Structure 1
Amino acid sequence: MTLPTLFVPHGGGPCFFMDPAGGPPDRMWRPMQAYLAGLIAGLPERPRAILMISGHWEAADLTVHVGERPDLLFDYHGFPEHTYRLHWNAPGAPDVARRAARLLQDAGHRVGEEAARGWDHGIFIPMMVANPAADVPLVQMSLRADLDPTAHIAVGAALAPLRDEGVLIVGSGMSFHNLRARGPQVTPVAAEWDAALIAAVTDADPARRRTRVAAWDQLPHARFAHPEAEHLLPLMVALGAGGDALAICDYRDVVMGWAVSGFRFG
């Protein structure tokens, strides 16, 4: 069974866990929470492991985390004290990390290893929703610090064999990420950007899809939507790993005035 690949929004900070009593999140985050909660059940089979790329880890070279059981890295600021005591204790997947590194090296990419860094909130916040039992091993891989879109699509393509080995490849970011632009006045511009991004990502011709998404900064309002590209680059990896598979937008909502989308390949 070949697993699909995913690009998912991870929300804002610990947005799904702001209630210290464990109640539901603020109303605007509930559709995203529901989407994330259904990710595993919506797969054709349960993955044996997850390889995840977050918009919150960049390294000079691609780097895979080979730790057995990483801690959590609370890399958000200004949130309630209880959100710095969250727990998500899934095991690492060093075997998958090293298999991914070999695939990347065989494709000509430079790859490093590290074992000390904790999982950032682009990993543990969506995964606490998607897999609260923490019973699927997970490996995190960094972005490459140059944020080259074509290179990250190639990275995904190199990782594609993992899809036939029971590994779910997930890019975690946000399809709109301009923290200074919030509110209903942003919505028309964000919606135009989002429509253009969806059209590019879901292009039925896979080669044209890759070309259009690699040129993301030519889409309407691209640099308004992403003053920096790190939250969009996980999409490139998921798209590359998806290969010629059907691409769909399987989540869309408006939060903080932003149109936000998620994608599935295969």
Structure 2
Amino acid sequence: MSQLPTLFLSHGSPMLALQDSPARRFLQGLGKTLECPEAIVVVSAHWETRGGPAVSLAPQPETIHDFGGFPRALFEMQYPAPGAPEAAQRAAALLEAHGMPVGHGAQRGLDHGAWVPLSLMYPDADIPVAQLSVVHGASPAEHERLGRALTELRNEGVLVVGSGSLTHNLYEFRGQGIDAPVPQWVSEFEAWMKVRLENSERAALLDYRRTAPFAAQNHPTEEHLLPLFVAMGAAGPDARATQLHASFEHGVLAMDAYAFQ
């Protein structure tokens, strides 16, 4: 197997699993463009741990419906992919070798940051999946370092996916339609990120909070952008970013996706 890329995917609203949109159609085609991995490790914005990252070891992870106020059909959806405890243990060993303490979630299931995009990419649910948490309070640089520890997974048939959102200020969501106009503070941040990612301006990216326009407005909390830095780090220090998709939903959600290789 050739060296796999790492991915950052914006998973948007859980309704991505049901509601037609450009981002949904993109994800439905994405799996077909990639060499089929032996396992997937997903770094999800919806699993935060303290003191260090954690890996999920469940042999058959449950589908977690970690949201409320959505149609019944969404709560009835299941993604019965097998777990990937061996890939999770390998990830943990790599992290520990780099001096990071790692927790283990024996029964941790797949939250919607994992199962929603994967159900579109790999609808047969036949690829083993494990999750890796983001670390509450840790910086972008610390998450990029975390990703760098995982670089060898790319050569071992494991697809590393960071699942978050390029922009994520739900305080600004007031029931806008999926095709609502995009405010300037969202579009300027998205454009800034694209330029810095495609030009490998890592110092600026790691300091985005200070250097990017409207950074705090787009990310009142950082957990939805941190998976990007893990994916970037996991591709290695010389990897280049390629924008695979760009669209907006509900005005405030930039649905960008990137491959690092």
Q: How does 1:110-125 map to 2 (within 5 A)?
A: 110-125=101-116
Task: Tell me which residue corresponds to 1:249.
Answer: 243
Amino acid in structure 2 at the alignment position of 1:46: C
Give 3-state SS (helix, strand or coil) of 1:236's partner. helix
1:54 aligned to which of 40, 44, 60: 44
Task: Tell me which residue corresponds to 1:263.
Answer: 258
2:69 aligned to which of 56, 74, 78: 78
Distance 1:90 1:96 in 2: 14
Residue 175 of structure 1 deviates from its aligned partner by: 0.2
Give 3-state SS (helix, strand or coil) of 2:61's partner. coil
Amino acid in structure 2 at the alignment position of 1:216: Y
Distance 2:88 2:64 in 1: 19
Task: Tell me which residue corresponds to 2:97.
Answer: 106
Give 3-state SS (helix, strand or coil) of 2:32's partner. coil
2:203 aligned to which of 189, 204, 211: 211
Q: How does 1:187-206 map to 2 (within 5 A)?
A: 187-204=183-200
Distance 1:250 1:86 in 2: 27
Task: Tell me which residue corresponds to 1:87.
Answer: 78
Give 3-state SS (helix, strand or coil) of 1:69's partner. coil
State whether residues 198 and 242 of structure 2, in contact with CA within 8 Å, keep that contact through their aligned partners in structure 1.
yes
Residue 186 of structure 1 deviates from its aligned partner by: 4.8
Task: Tell me which residue corresponds to 1:21.
Answer: none
Identical-pair percentage: 39
Give 3-state SS (helix, strand or coil) of 1:150's partner. helix
State whether residues 194 and 260 of structure 1, in contact with CA within 8 Å, keep that contact through their aligned partners in structure 2.
no
Extract structure 1 runs of 4+ deviating beyond 6 A: none
Give 3-state SS (helix, strand or coil) of 1:38's partner. helix
Distance 1:261 1:82 in 2: 26
TM-score, normalisation: structure 2: 0.92
Do residues 236 (structure 1) and 246 (structure 2) align? no
Residue 15 of structure 1 deviates from its aligned partner by: 3.0
Give 3-state SS (helix, strand or coil) of 2:33's partner. coil
Distance 2:118 2:90 in 1: 22
Amino acid in structure 1 at the alignment position of 2:209: D
Return 5+ residue gaps in structure 2 as ranges: none
State whether residues 91 and 138 of structure 1, in contact with CA within 8 Å, keep that contact through their aligned partners in structure 2.
yes
Amino acid in structure 1 at the alignment position of 2:79: W
Give 3-state SS (helix, strand or coil) of 1:14's partner. helix
Residue 16 of structure 1 deviates from its aligned partner by: 2.5
Residue 67 of structure 1 deviates from its aligned partner by: 0.8
Distance 1:262 1:130 in 2: 13
Distance 2:95 2:231 in 1: 15
TM-score, normalisation: structure 1: 0.91
Distance 1:10 1:73 in 2: 15
Q: CA RMSD in A?
A: 1.3
Residue 39 of structure 1 deviates from its aligned partner by: 2.1
Residue 133 of structure 1 deviates from its aligned partner by: 0.1
Return 5+ residue gaps in structure 1 as ranges: 18-24
Which string of whole-angstrom CA distances, capped at 9 and with x for unpartnered residues, describes residues 203-239 of structure 1?
24xxxx3212111112100001000000000000000
Which string of whole-angstrom CA distances, capped at 9 and with x for unpartnered residues, describes residues 20-67 of structure 1?
xxxxx24xxx21111111222112x21101010111000012100011
Distance 2:249 2:33 in 1: 23
Which string of whole-angstrom CA distances, capped at 9 and with x for unpartnered residues, describes residues 120-170 of structure 1?
110111111111100110110011112311110001100010000011000
State whether residues 153 and 210 of structure 1, in contact with CA within 8 Å, keep that contact through their aligned partners in structure 2.
no
Tell which deviates more after alignment, 148-157 or 241-250. Answer: 241-250
Distance 2:104 2:136 in 1: 15
Amino acid in structure 2 at the alignment position of 1:189: W
